[in-house]
Chain A
Amino acid sequence: MVGVLALLVAASIAGAVMARRAGPEKKASVANFNARTKSWWVMVGIFAVTLYLGHWTTVVLFCLLSFCALREFITLNETRNCDHVVLFWCFFVILPLQYFLVGIEWYGLASIFIPVYAFIFIPIRKVMSGETKDFLATTAKIQWGMLTCVYFVSHMPMIMTLPIKDWSGGNGPLLFFFVATAQASDVFQYCWGKLMGKRKIAPKLSPNKTVEGALGGIATTLLLAVGMSFVTPFNPWQAALMALVICLAGFFGGLVMSAIKRDLGAKDWGNSIAGHGGVMDRIDSLCFAAPLFFHLTSFYFGTGMDPKPPDWIFSLFGK
Protein backbone atom coordinates (compact mmCIF):
# COMPACT_ATOMS: atom_id res chain seq x y z
CA MET A 1 0.00 0.00 0.00
CA VAL A 2 2.77 2.39 0.99
CA GLY A 3 4.59 1.46 -2.23
CA VAL A 4 1.52 2.21 -4.32
CA LEU A 5 1.13 5.59 -2.64
CA ALA A 6 4.81 6.35 -3.32
CA LEU A 7 4.32 5.44 -6.99
CA LEU A 8 1.26 7.68 -7.27
CA VAL A 9 3.05 10.60 -5.62
CA ALA A 10 5.99 10.09 -8.00
CA ALA A 11 3.65 9.95 -11.01
CA SER A 12 1.85 13.12 -9.94
CA ILE A 13 5.12 15.02 -9.45
CA ALA A 14 6.48 13.74 -12.77
CA GLY A 15 3.21 14.78 -14.45
CA ALA A 16 3.37 18.28 -12.99
CA VAL A 17 7.01 18.69 -14.09
CA MET A 18 6.26 17.39 -17.58
CA ALA A 19 3.24 19.66 -17.92
CA ARG A 20 5.52 22.66 -17.26
CA ARG A 21 8.31 21.52 -19.59
CA ALA A 22 6.43 19.81 -22.42
CA GLY A 23 6.51 21.38 -25.85
CA PRO A 24 3.27 21.97 -27.73
CA GLU A 25 3.57 18.69 -29.71
CA LYS A 26 3.65 16.62 -26.48
CA LYS A 27 0.86 18.51 -24.67
CA ALA A 28 -1.83 15.95 -25.48
CA SER A 29 0.05 12.91 -24.21
CA VAL A 30 1.13 14.70 -21.02
CA ALA A 31 -2.47 15.76 -20.41
CA ASN A 32 -3.53 12.14 -20.91
CA PHE A 33 -0.82 11.00 -18.48
CA ASN A 34 -2.04 13.46 -15.85
CA ALA A 35 -5.68 12.50 -16.37
CA ARG A 36 -4.68 8.85 -15.94
CA THR A 37 -2.74 9.59 -12.76
CA LYS A 38 -5.65 11.55 -11.31
CA SER A 39 -8.04 8.70 -12.07
CA TRP A 40 -5.57 6.28 -10.46
CA TRP A 41 -5.71 8.28 -7.23
CA VAL A 42 -9.51 7.97 -7.20
CA MET A 43 -9.50 4.26 -8.09
CA VAL A 44 -6.83 3.35 -5.52
CA GLY A 45 -8.69 5.36 -2.88
CA ILE A 46 -12.01 3.64 -3.53
CA PHE A 47 -10.37 0.21 -3.64
CA ALA A 48 -8.42 0.73 -0.40
CA VAL A 49 -11.52 1.92 1.48
CA THR A 50 -13.63 -1.03 0.28
CA LEU A 51 -10.94 -3.56 1.18
CA TYR A 52 -10.73 -2.01 4.63
CA LEU A 53 -14.50 -2.21 5.11
CA GLY A 54 -14.63 -5.96 4.56
CA HIS A 55 -15.90 -8.58 2.22
CA TRP A 56 -19.49 -7.42 1.59
CA THR A 57 -18.41 -3.93 0.51
CA THR A 58 -15.85 -5.56 -1.79
CA VAL A 59 -18.63 -7.71 -3.26
CA VAL A 60 -20.75 -4.60 -3.84
CA LEU A 61 -17.84 -2.69 -5.45
CA PHE A 62 -17.11 -5.48 -7.91
CA CYS A 63 -20.82 -5.94 -8.56
CA LEU A 64 -20.97 -2.29 -9.65
CA LEU A 65 -17.83 -2.71 -11.78
CA SER A 66 -19.40 -5.73 -13.49
CA PHE A 67 -22.57 -3.77 -14.07
CA CYS A 68 -20.68 -0.91 -15.74
CA ALA A 69 -18.54 -3.29 -17.81
CA LEU A 70 -21.53 -5.31 -18.99
CA ARG A 71 -23.33 -2.09 -19.84
CA GLU A 72 -20.42 -0.97 -22.00
CA PHE A 73 -20.16 -4.41 -23.61
CA ILE A 74 -23.86 -4.71 -24.52
CA THR A 75 -24.05 -1.07 -25.66
CA LEU A 76 -21.35 -1.60 -28.27
CA ASN A 77 -22.90 -4.87 -29.45
CA GLU A 78 -25.78 -4.84 -31.87
CA THR A 79 -28.45 -6.60 -29.85
CA ARG A 80 -31.96 -6.76 -31.24
CA ASN A 81 -35.30 -5.66 -29.84
CA CYS A 82 -36.24 -9.29 -29.20
CA ASP A 83 -33.29 -9.57 -26.78
CA HIS A 84 -34.71 -6.86 -24.56
CA VAL A 85 -36.23 -9.06 -21.86
CA VAL A 86 -33.30 -11.46 -21.66
CA LEU A 87 -30.97 -8.48 -21.24
CA PHE A 88 -33.15 -7.22 -18.42
CA TRP A 89 -32.69 -10.61 -16.70
CA CYS A 90 -28.92 -10.46 -17.23
CA PHE A 91 -28.52 -6.98 -15.74
CA PHE A 92 -31.02 -7.08 -12.90
CA VAL A 93 -31.35 -10.73 -11.88
CA ILE A 94 -28.40 -12.91 -12.94
CA LEU A 95 -25.68 -10.33 -12.23
CA PRO A 96 -26.82 -9.42 -8.68
CA LEU A 97 -27.53 -13.09 -7.93
CA GLN A 98 -23.97 -14.10 -8.90
CA TYR A 99 -22.55 -11.53 -6.48
CA PHE A 100 -25.05 -12.55 -3.81
CA LEU A 101 -23.78 -16.14 -4.10
CA VAL A 102 -20.21 -14.87 -3.80
CA GLY A 103 -21.22 -12.79 -0.78
CA ILE A 104 -22.88 -15.66 1.12
CA GLU A 105 -19.85 -17.84 0.29
CA TRP A 106 -21.80 -20.56 -1.48
CA TYR A 107 -18.74 -21.45 -3.51
CA GLY A 108 -20.26 -24.59 -5.09
CA LEU A 109 -23.00 -22.58 -6.83
CA ALA A 110 -21.12 -19.30 -7.41
CA SER A 111 -18.42 -21.12 -9.37
CA ILE A 112 -20.85 -22.67 -11.86
CA PHE A 113 -23.90 -20.41 -11.69
CA ILE A 114 -23.19 -18.45 -14.88
CA PRO A 115 -21.55 -21.09 -17.12
CA VAL A 116 -24.27 -23.64 -16.30
CA TYR A 117 -27.52 -22.07 -15.11
CA ALA A 118 -27.34 -18.68 -16.82
CA PHE A 119 -26.04 -20.19 -20.05
CA ILE A 120 -29.01 -22.57 -20.13
CA PHE A 121 -31.46 -19.85 -19.18
CA ILE A 122 -30.32 -17.24 -21.73
CA PRO A 123 -31.08 -19.24 -24.92
CA ILE A 124 -34.33 -20.57 -23.41
CA ARG A 125 -35.59 -17.08 -22.64
CA LYS A 126 -34.44 -15.93 -26.07
CA VAL A 127 -36.17 -18.75 -27.93
CA MET A 128 -39.43 -17.66 -26.28
CA SER A 129 -39.33 -14.47 -28.33
CA GLY A 130 -39.74 -16.63 -31.46
CA GLU A 131 -37.08 -14.71 -33.42
CA THR A 132 -34.60 -16.94 -35.28
CA LYS A 133 -32.55 -14.33 -37.14
CA ASP A 134 -28.99 -14.09 -35.72
CA PHE A 135 -30.06 -16.39 -32.90
CA LEU A 136 -26.71 -18.03 -32.34
CA ALA A 137 -24.75 -14.81 -32.82
CA THR A 138 -26.74 -12.75 -30.33
CA THR A 139 -26.95 -15.59 -27.80
CA ALA A 140 -23.18 -16.05 -27.98
CA LYS A 141 -22.57 -12.31 -27.59
CA ILE A 142 -24.74 -12.08 -24.50
CA GLN A 143 -23.14 -15.20 -23.02
CA TRP A 144 -19.64 -13.88 -23.71
CA GLY A 145 -20.57 -10.61 -22.03
CA MET A 146 -21.85 -12.45 -18.96
CA LEU A 147 -18.75 -14.65 -18.86
CA THR A 148 -16.12 -11.91 -19.09
CA CYS A 149 -17.85 -8.97 -17.44
CA VAL A 150 -19.64 -10.83 -14.64
CA TYR A 151 -18.32 -14.37 -14.08
CA PHE A 152 -14.59 -13.65 -14.45
CA VAL A 153 -14.76 -10.36 -12.55
CA SER A 154 -16.66 -12.01 -9.68
CA HIS A 155 -13.60 -14.17 -8.95
CA MET A 156 -11.93 -11.12 -7.43
CA PRO A 157 -14.31 -10.76 -4.46
CA MET A 158 -14.24 -14.57 -4.23
CA ILE A 159 -10.56 -14.24 -3.27
CA MET A 160 -11.78 -12.46 -0.12
CA THR A 161 -13.50 -15.65 1.08
CA LEU A 162 -10.85 -18.19 0.06
CA PRO A 163 -9.70 -20.21 3.10
CA ILE A 164 -5.90 -20.47 3.11
CA LYS A 165 -3.63 -22.95 4.90
CA ASP A 166 -1.52 -21.64 7.81
CA TRP A 167 -2.10 -18.00 7.03
CA SER A 168 -3.35 -15.33 9.39
CA GLY A 169 -2.62 -12.27 7.26
CA GLY A 170 -6.18 -11.93 5.96
CA ASN A 171 -7.48 -12.13 2.41
CA GLY A 172 -7.78 -8.40 1.76
CA PRO A 173 -3.99 -8.11 1.20
CA LEU A 174 -4.17 -11.10 -1.14
CA LEU A 175 -6.79 -9.41 -3.33
CA PHE A 176 -4.74 -6.24 -3.13
CA PHE A 177 -1.67 -8.19 -4.30
CA PHE A 178 -3.62 -9.50 -7.30
CA VAL A 179 -5.13 -6.18 -8.39
CA ALA A 180 -1.91 -4.23 -7.78
CA THR A 181 0.15 -6.77 -9.77
CA ALA A 182 -2.24 -6.85 -12.74
CA GLN A 183 -2.61 -3.07 -12.87
CA ALA A 184 1.10 -2.44 -12.28
CA SER A 185 1.82 -4.73 -15.22
CA ASP A 186 -0.40 -2.51 -17.42
CA VAL A 187 1.17 0.69 -16.12
CA PHE A 188 4.80 -0.50 -16.39
CA GLN A 189 4.24 -1.90 -19.88
CA TYR A 190 2.77 1.47 -20.88
CA CYS A 191 5.73 3.35 -19.35
CA TRP A 192 8.46 1.10 -20.80
CA GLY A 193 6.67 1.20 -24.15
CA LYS A 194 6.55 5.01 -24.11
CA LEU A 195 10.20 5.27 -23.07
CA MET A 196 11.85 2.77 -25.40
CA GLY A 197 9.20 0.87 -27.32
CA LYS A 198 10.16 0.14 -30.93
CA ARG A 199 8.98 -3.25 -32.21
CA LYS A 200 5.20 -3.52 -32.17
CA ILE A 201 3.75 -6.85 -31.02
CA ALA A 202 0.26 -6.54 -32.46
CA PRO A 203 0.02 -3.39 -34.56
CA LYS A 204 -3.54 -4.17 -35.67
CA LEU A 205 -4.90 -5.05 -32.25
CA SER A 206 -3.18 -2.74 -29.85
CA PRO A 207 -0.81 -0.22 -31.45
CA ASN A 208 0.69 0.78 -28.07
CA LYS A 209 1.97 -2.69 -27.15
CA THR A 210 5.66 -3.22 -27.95
CA VAL A 211 8.15 -6.02 -27.27
CA GLU A 212 10.31 -3.70 -25.17
CA GLY A 213 7.27 -2.48 -23.22
CA ALA A 214 6.01 -6.00 -22.51
CA LEU A 215 9.39 -7.40 -21.41
CA GLY A 216 10.36 -4.38 -19.34
CA GLY A 217 6.88 -4.13 -17.84
CA ILE A 218 6.71 -7.78 -16.86
CA ALA A 219 10.23 -7.75 -15.37
CA THR A 220 9.44 -4.66 -13.28
CA THR A 221 6.14 -6.17 -12.15
CA LEU A 222 7.85 -9.38 -11.03
CA LEU A 223 10.22 -7.30 -8.87
CA LEU A 224 7.26 -5.43 -7.41
CA ALA A 225 5.46 -8.73 -6.69
CA VAL A 226 8.52 -10.13 -4.90
CA GLY A 227 8.57 -6.96 -2.82
CA MET A 228 4.89 -7.41 -1.95
CA SER A 229 5.19 -11.13 -1.17
CA PHE A 230 5.28 -10.51 2.61
CA VAL A 231 1.55 -9.60 2.59
CA THR A 232 0.65 -12.91 0.93
CA PRO A 233 1.01 -16.60 1.81
CA PHE A 234 3.56 -16.91 -1.04
CA ASN A 235 7.32 -16.96 -0.57
CA PRO A 236 9.26 -14.61 -2.92
CA TRP A 237 9.71 -17.02 -5.83
CA GLN A 238 6.11 -18.22 -5.57
CA ALA A 239 5.01 -14.59 -5.68
CA ALA A 240 7.13 -14.07 -8.80
CA LEU A 241 5.55 -17.11 -10.51
CA MET A 242 2.06 -15.95 -9.58
CA ALA A 243 2.89 -12.50 -10.92
CA LEU A 244 4.13 -14.05 -14.17
CA VAL A 245 0.80 -15.87 -14.60
CA ILE A 246 -1.10 -12.66 -13.81
CA CYS A 247 1.03 -10.65 -16.27
CA LEU A 248 0.64 -13.15 -19.13
CA ALA A 249 -3.09 -13.67 -18.57
CA GLY A 250 -3.50 -9.92 -18.25
CA PHE A 251 -1.51 -9.25 -21.40
CA PHE A 252 -3.53 -11.71 -23.50
CA GLY A 253 -6.80 -10.76 -21.81
CA GLY A 254 -6.12 -7.18 -22.84
CA LEU A 255 -5.35 -8.27 -26.41
CA VAL A 256 -8.54 -10.35 -26.66
CA MET A 257 -10.76 -7.59 -25.34
CA SER A 258 -9.03 -5.17 -27.66
CA ALA A 259 -9.70 -7.47 -30.64
CA ILE A 260 -13.40 -7.59 -29.69
CA LYS A 261 -13.48 -3.82 -29.31
CA ARG A 262 -11.97 -3.29 -32.73
CA ASP A 263 -14.30 -5.89 -34.23
CA LEU A 264 -17.15 -3.77 -32.89
CA GLY A 265 -15.61 -0.65 -34.42
CA ALA A 266 -14.71 1.28 -31.27
CA LYS A 267 -11.53 2.76 -29.85
CA ASP A 268 -12.54 2.72 -26.20
CA TRP A 269 -15.28 0.83 -24.37
CA GLY A 270 -16.67 4.06 -22.97
CA ASN A 271 -15.64 7.40 -21.52
CA SER A 272 -16.50 7.09 -17.85
CA ILE A 273 -12.92 7.19 -16.45
CA ALA A 274 -10.95 10.29 -17.51
CA GLY A 275 -7.83 9.37 -19.52
CA HIS A 276 -8.49 5.63 -19.43
CA GLY A 277 -11.69 5.20 -21.48
CA GLY A 278 -14.40 2.98 -20.08
CA VAL A 279 -14.50 0.68 -17.07
CA MET A 280 -13.81 -2.25 -19.40
CA ASP A 281 -10.63 -0.56 -20.68
CA ARG A 282 -9.34 -0.57 -17.10
CA ILE A 283 -10.36 -4.09 -16.06
CA ASP A 284 -9.78 -5.96 -19.35
CA SER A 285 -6.47 -7.34 -18.08
CA LEU A 286 -8.06 -8.43 -14.78
CA CYS A 287 -10.79 -10.50 -16.48
CA PHE A 288 -8.72 -13.45 -17.61
CA ALA A 289 -6.21 -13.31 -14.78
CA ALA A 290 -8.75 -13.34 -11.91
CA PRO A 291 -10.09 -16.91 -12.27
CA LEU A 292 -6.57 -18.25 -12.92
CA PHE A 293 -5.15 -16.55 -9.84
CA PHE A 294 -8.12 -17.66 -7.75
CA HIS A 295 -7.83 -21.33 -8.72
CA LEU A 296 -4.01 -21.51 -8.57
CA THR A 297 -4.09 -20.03 -5.08
CA SER A 298 -6.86 -22.39 -4.08
CA PHE A 299 -5.04 -25.48 -5.46
CA TYR A 300 -1.69 -24.83 -3.85
CA PHE A 301 -2.46 -22.76 -0.77
CA GLY A 302 -6.15 -23.32 -0.02
CA THR A 303 -7.74 -25.73 2.42
CA GLY A 304 -10.50 -26.49 -0.09
CA MET A 305 -13.68 -24.49 -0.56
CA ASP A 306 -16.91 -25.94 0.79
CA PRO A 307 -19.28 -26.53 -2.15
CA LYS A 308 -22.32 -26.98 0.12
CA PRO A 309 -24.74 -24.09 0.61
CA PRO A 310 -24.49 -22.14 3.87
CA ASP A 311 -26.48 -23.61 6.76
CA TRP A 312 -29.16 -20.93 6.79
CA ILE A 313 -30.25 -21.99 3.29
CA PHE A 314 -30.91 -25.51 4.61
CA SER A 315 -32.77 -24.12 7.58
CA LEU A 316 -35.04 -22.20 5.16
CA PHE A 317 -36.30 -25.57 3.96
CA GLY A 318 -36.58 -27.01 7.48
CA LYS A 319 -33.61 -29.36 7.30
Chain B
Amino acid sequence: MADLLAMLVRLATGVSVREVAGWTGKSCVFFANHASNLDALVIWAALPKEIREQTSPVAARDYWAKNAIRRWISGKIFKAILLNRKGRPEDRSHPLQGVFDALESGRSIIIFPEGTRNPEGALQNFKPGIFHVRQRFPASVMIPISLQNLNRILPKGQWLPVPLIGRITVHPPLEEIADENCGEFLVRARAAVAMGLQKDKCNES
Protein backbone atom coordinates (compact mmCIF):
# COMPACT_ATOMS: atom_id res chain seq x y z
CA MET B 1 0.00 0.00 0.00
CA ALA B 2 2.73 2.43 1.01
CA ASP B 3 4.84 1.40 -1.99
CA LEU B 4 1.89 1.85 -4.32
CA LEU B 5 1.20 5.33 -2.96
CA ALA B 6 4.87 6.25 -3.28
CA MET B 7 4.92 5.04 -6.88
CA LEU B 8 1.79 7.02 -7.75
CA VAL B 9 3.23 10.18 -6.20
CA ARG B 10 6.52 9.72 -8.08
CA LEU B 11 4.61 9.23 -11.32
CA ALA B 12 2.28 12.18 -10.77
CA THR B 13 4.93 14.72 -9.79
CA GLY B 14 7.88 13.40 -11.81
CA VAL B 15 10.03 13.47 -8.69
CA SER B 16 12.40 10.72 -7.63
CA VAL B 17 15.77 10.32 -5.95
CA ARG B 18 18.24 7.66 -7.10
CA GLU B 19 20.73 7.78 -4.25
CA VAL B 20 21.40 9.77 -1.13
CA ALA B 21 25.02 10.64 -0.44
CA GLY B 22 25.54 10.63 3.30
CA TRP B 23 22.81 8.12 4.15
CA THR B 24 24.16 6.30 7.17
CA GLY B 25 21.31 3.86 7.67
CA LYS B 26 19.91 5.51 10.78
CA SER B 27 19.00 8.75 12.47
CA CYS B 28 19.34 11.04 9.49
CA VAL B 29 17.61 14.40 9.47
CA PHE B 30 16.28 15.46 6.06
CA PHE B 31 15.30 19.13 6.03
CA ALA B 32 13.68 21.04 3.19
CA ASN B 33 11.89 24.19 2.14
CA HIS B 34 8.13 24.16 2.69
CA ALA B 35 5.71 25.62 0.17
CA SER B 36 2.99 23.02 -0.33
CA ASN B 37 1.01 20.41 1.58
CA LEU B 38 2.56 17.91 -0.79
CA ASP B 39 6.12 18.53 0.41
CA ALA B 40 6.36 15.85 3.11
CA LEU B 41 4.52 13.30 1.00
CA VAL B 42 6.71 13.98 -2.05
CA ILE B 43 10.05 13.74 -0.22
CA TRP B 44 8.91 10.57 1.48
CA ALA B 45 7.75 9.07 -1.83
CA ALA B 46 10.84 10.17 -3.76
CA LEU B 47 13.34 8.54 -1.38
CA PRO B 48 14.63 5.08 -2.34
CA LYS B 49 12.57 2.28 -0.76
CA GLU B 50 15.04 1.21 1.92
CA ILE B 51 15.42 4.79 3.10
CA ARG B 52 11.71 5.52 2.85
CA GLU B 53 10.83 2.63 5.11
CA GLN B 54 12.99 4.04 7.89
CA THR B 55 11.95 7.66 7.53
CA SER B 56 9.07 9.54 9.10
CA PRO B 57 7.88 12.98 8.03
CA VAL B 58 7.22 15.43 10.85
CA ALA B 59 3.83 17.08 10.36
CA ALA B 60 1.32 19.31 12.10
CA ARG B 61 -1.16 17.51 14.34
CA ASP B 62 -3.92 20.06 13.72
CA TYR B 63 -3.92 19.14 10.01
CA TRP B 64 -3.05 15.46 9.96
CA ALA B 65 -5.17 14.30 12.88
CA LYS B 66 -8.27 16.18 11.82
CA ASN B 67 -10.28 13.25 10.49
CA ALA B 68 -10.10 9.47 10.21
CA ILE B 69 -8.70 9.42 6.67
CA ARG B 70 -5.87 11.83 7.44
CA ARG B 71 -5.13 10.00 10.71
CA TRP B 72 -4.97 6.71 8.82
CA ILE B 73 -2.69 8.11 6.09
CA SER B 74 -0.34 9.86 8.50
CA GLY B 75 -0.28 7.04 11.03
CA LYS B 76 -0.38 3.88 8.95
CA ILE B 77 1.01 4.82 5.53
CA PHE B 78 3.83 7.18 6.18
CA LYS B 79 4.13 6.84 9.92
CA ALA B 80 4.34 10.56 10.47
CA ILE B 81 5.42 12.16 13.72
CA LEU B 82 2.68 14.63 14.61
CA LEU B 83 3.60 17.78 16.50
CA ASN B 84 1.39 20.30 18.27
CA ARG B 85 1.95 23.64 16.67
CA LYS B 86 0.24 25.53 19.48
CA GLY B 87 1.80 24.52 22.77
CA ARG B 88 -0.76 23.33 25.30
CA PRO B 89 -0.20 24.59 28.86
CA GLU B 90 -1.01 21.20 30.44
CA ASP B 91 1.58 19.55 28.23
CA ARG B 92 4.88 19.64 30.09
CA SER B 93 6.97 17.59 27.65
CA HIS B 94 9.32 19.20 25.12
CA PRO B 95 7.41 20.22 21.94
CA LEU B 96 9.86 18.19 19.86
CA GLN B 97 9.63 15.09 22.10
CA GLY B 98 8.15 12.99 19.29
CA VAL B 99 11.09 13.85 17.04
CA PHE B 100 13.61 13.03 19.77
CA ASP B 101 11.96 9.65 20.43
CA ALA B 102 12.08 8.75 16.73
CA LEU B 103 15.75 9.67 16.36
CA GLU B 104 16.52 7.87 19.61
CA SER B 105 15.05 4.68 18.17
CA GLY B 106 17.17 5.05 15.03
CA ARG B 107 14.48 6.28 12.63
CA SER B 108 15.20 9.13 10.25
CA ILE B 109 12.99 12.18 9.94
CA ILE B 110 11.88 14.79 7.40
CA ILE B 111 11.46 18.29 8.83
CA PHE B 112 10.62 21.73 7.50
CA PRO B 113 12.63 24.25 9.53
CA GLU B 114 10.61 27.22 8.24
CA GLY B 115 7.73 25.90 10.36
CA THR B 116 5.00 26.94 7.96
CA ARG B 117 4.31 27.26 4.24
CA ASN B 118 4.96 30.49 2.42
CA PRO B 119 2.18 31.30 -0.07
CA GLU B 120 4.61 32.78 -2.62
CA GLY B 121 7.02 29.88 -2.28
CA ALA B 122 9.96 32.04 -1.19
CA LEU B 123 12.34 30.61 1.42
CA GLN B 124 11.74 32.09 4.89
CA ASN B 125 14.06 32.18 7.89
CA PHE B 126 14.56 28.91 9.73
CA LYS B 127 13.12 28.44 13.23
CA PRO B 128 15.50 27.19 15.93
CA GLY B 129 13.86 23.74 16.24
CA ILE B 130 16.35 22.14 13.88
CA PHE B 131 19.22 23.49 15.99
CA HIS B 132 17.78 21.83 19.12
CA VAL B 133 17.58 18.54 17.23
CA ARG B 134 21.20 19.02 16.19
CA GLN B 135 22.30 19.67 19.79
CA ARG B 136 20.41 16.71 21.18
CA PHE B 137 21.76 14.33 18.50
CA PRO B 138 25.20 15.60 17.43
CA ALA B 139 25.86 12.32 15.62
CA SER B 140 22.86 12.60 13.31
CA VAL B 141 23.58 13.44 9.67
CA MET B 142 21.85 16.60 8.45
CA ILE B 143 20.83 16.32 4.79
CA PRO B 144 19.47 19.46 3.04
CA ILE B 145 16.80 19.03 0.36
CA SER B 146 15.49 21.62 -2.11
CA LEU B 147 12.02 21.25 -3.58
CA GLN B 148 10.99 23.18 -6.67
CA ASN B 149 7.63 23.68 -8.37
CA LEU B 150 5.59 21.84 -5.74
CA ASN B 151 4.04 25.14 -4.67
CA ARG B 152 2.80 25.42 -8.25
CA ILE B 153 1.37 21.89 -8.25
CA LEU B 154 -0.64 22.51 -5.09
CA PRO B 155 -0.31 26.07 -3.71
CA LYS B 156 -1.41 27.02 -0.23
CA GLY B 157 -5.17 27.44 -0.13
CA GLN B 158 -5.91 25.31 -3.20
CA TRP B 159 -7.26 21.77 -3.21
CA LEU B 160 -7.09 20.91 -6.92
CA PRO B 161 -3.61 19.95 -8.14
CA VAL B 162 -2.14 20.97 -11.49
CA PRO B 163 0.09 18.23 -12.96
CA LEU B 164 3.39 20.07 -13.36
CA ILE B 165 6.79 18.43 -13.07
CA GLY B 166 8.38 18.90 -9.65
CA ARG B 167 12.06 18.83 -8.88
CA ILE B 168 13.90 17.55 -5.85
CA THR B 169 17.59 18.06 -5.12
CA VAL B 170 19.23 16.12 -2.30
CA HIS B 171 22.40 17.94 -1.27
CA PRO B 172 25.48 16.48 0.43
CA PRO B 173 25.16 16.45 4.25
CA LEU B 174 26.02 19.58 6.24
CA GLU B 175 29.59 19.52 7.50
CA GLU B 176 30.40 19.36 11.18
CA ILE B 177 31.49 22.71 12.58
CA ALA B 178 32.38 22.77 16.25
CA ASP B 179 31.17 25.56 18.58
CA GLU B 180 28.62 26.97 16.19
CA ASN B 181 25.86 29.03 17.75
CA CYS B 182 22.19 28.74 16.85
CA GLY B 183 22.07 31.74 14.49
CA GLU B 184 25.14 30.66 12.53
CA PHE B 185 23.85 27.13 12.16
CA LEU B 186 20.42 28.27 10.96
CA VAL B 187 21.95 30.59 8.36
CA ARG B 188 24.21 27.83 7.09
CA ALA B 189 21.40 25.29 6.93
CA ARG B 190 19.15 27.75 5.11
CA ALA B 191 21.88 28.62 2.60
CA ALA B 192 22.29 24.92 1.78
CA VAL B 193 18.60 24.61 0.90
CA ALA B 194 18.55 27.96 -0.94
CA MET B 195 21.44 26.84 -3.15
CA GLY B 196 19.15 24.34 -4.89
CA LEU B 197 16.40 26.91 -5.47
CA GLN B 198 18.28 29.24 -7.74
CA LYS B 199 16.58 29.78 -11.03
CA ASP B 200 18.82 27.72 -13.22
CA LYS B 201 16.31 25.74 -15.16
CA CYS B 202 18.88 24.22 -17.48
CA ASN B 203 18.67 20.47 -17.33
CA GLU B 204 21.74 18.64 -16.23
CA SER B 205 21.87 16.25 -19.19
Which B residue sits closest to A82, measured CB to CB?
A: B155
Docked-complex contact A268 and B205, CB < 8 angstroms? yes
Asked if A84 contacts B202 (CB within 8 A), the reply is no
A88 to chain B: which residues have CB within 8 Å? 160-162
Sort chain B's interface into a size bin: 20 to 34
Total contacting residues, chain A, CB less than 8 A: 22
What 5 A-B pairs are tightest by C-beta distance, nearest first?
A75-B165, A87-B162, A75-B164, A88-B160, A81-B155
Q: Looking at the complex, which one of A74, A85, A266, A272 makes contact with B164 (CB distance below 8 Å)?
A: A74
Q: How far is the CA of A136 from the CA of B165 in the complex (A)?
A: 24
The complex places the Cα of A81 from the Cα of B200 at a distance, in Å, of 20
CB-CB under 8 A for A270 and B165, given A79-B152, A81-B155, A84-B158: yes
A303 at interface by CB-CB < 8 Å: no
- Which residue from A74, A84, A267 sits with its C-beta under 8 Å from B203? A267
B interface, CB within 8 angstroms of A: 14, 119-120, 149, 151-152, 155, 158, 160-165, 199-203, 205
Q: Whose C-beta in chain B lies nearest to the C-beta of A87?
A: B162
Output the nearest chain A residue to B157 by Cβ-Cβ distance. Answer: A81
A residues contacting B by CB (< 8 A) are 67, 71-72, 74-76, 79, 81, 84-85, 87-88, 91, 264-268, 270-272, 277
Query: Which residue of A71, A72, A267, A270 contacts B202 across the interface (Cβ within 8 Å)?
Result: A267
- Bound-state Cα–Cα, A74 to B161, Å: 14
Q: Which of B119, B165, B201 contacts A81 (CB 8 A)?
A: B119
Q: Which residue of A lies closest to B202 (CB)?
A: A267
Q: How far is the CA of A75 from the CA of B162 in the complex (A)?
A: 10
Beta-carbon contact of A91 and B155 below 8 Å: no
- CB-nearest residue of chain B to A74: B164
List chain B residues, Cβ under 8 A from A75. 149, 152, 164-165
Set of chain A residues within 8 Å of B155, measured between Cβ atoms = 81, 84
Residue of B nearest to A85 (CB): B160
Considering the chains assembled together, what is the distance between the CA atoms of A91 and B153 in angstroms? Answer: 12
Complex: A91 Cα to B160 Cα, angstroms: 11
B201 near A265: Cβ-Cβ < 8 Å: yes
A81 B120 Cβ-Cβ under 8 A: yes
In the assembled complex, 20 residue pairs joining A and B whose CB atoms fall closer than 8 Å, in A order, are A71-B163, A74-B164, A75-B149, A75-B164, A81-B151, A81-B155, A84-B155, A84-B160, A85-B160, A88-B160, A91-B163, A264-B201, A265-B199, A265-B200, A266-B202, A267-B202, A270-B14, A271-B203, A272-B14, A277-B205
Given the known inter-chain contacts A81-B119, A84-B155, A85-B160, please indicate yes or no for A266 contacting B201, CB distance below 8 A: yes
From B200, which residue of chain A is reached at the shortest CB distance?
A: A265
Report how far A2 CA is from B6 CA in the complex, Å: 41
Q: CB < 8 Å: which of A81, A84, A87, A267 contacts B205?
A: A267
B154 nearest CB neighbor, chain A only: A84
- Kindly name the residue among B14, B149, B162, B165 whose own CB sees the greatest number of chain A CB atoms within 10 A: B162
On whether the beta carbons of A84 and B165 are closer than 8 Å, the reply is: no
Q: Which residues of A contact B165 (CB under 8 A)?
A: 71-72, 75, 270
Q: How far is the CA of A81 from the CA of B36 in the complex (A)?
A: 12
CA gap between A74 and B163 in the complex, in Å: 9
A79 to B121, CA, bound (A): 13
A81–B121 alpha-carbon span in the complex (Å): 10
Shortest Cβ gap from B160 to chain A (Å): 5
Complex interface: chain A residues within 8 A of B162 (CB): 74, 84, 87-88, 91
CB contacts (< 8 Å) of B163 on chain A: these are 67, 71, 91
Chain B nearest CB: distance from A134 CB in Å? 14
B199 CB contacts on chain A under 8 angstroms: 265
Residues of A near B152 (CB, < 8 A) are 75, 79, 81, 84
Instruction: Select from chain A the residue with minimum beta-carbon distance to B158.
Output: A84
A71 to B160 alpha-carbon distance, docked (Å): 15
With a cutoff of 8 Å between Cβ atoms, the chain B residues found around residue A268 in the complex are 203, 205
A33 to B157, CA, bound (A): 46
Report B204 CB to chain A, min CB distance, Å.
Answer: 8
Across-interface contacts of A85 in B (CB, < 8 A): 158, 160
Name the CB-closest residue of A to B149. Answer: A75
Cα separation A265 to B203 with both chains bound (whole Å)? 9
Name the CB-closest residue of A to B155.
A81
Q: A71-B163, A87-B162, A272-B14 are in contact. List 7 more A-B contacts (CB 8 A).
A: A71-B164, A79-B152, A81-B152, A81-B155, A91-B163, A265-B199, A267-B205
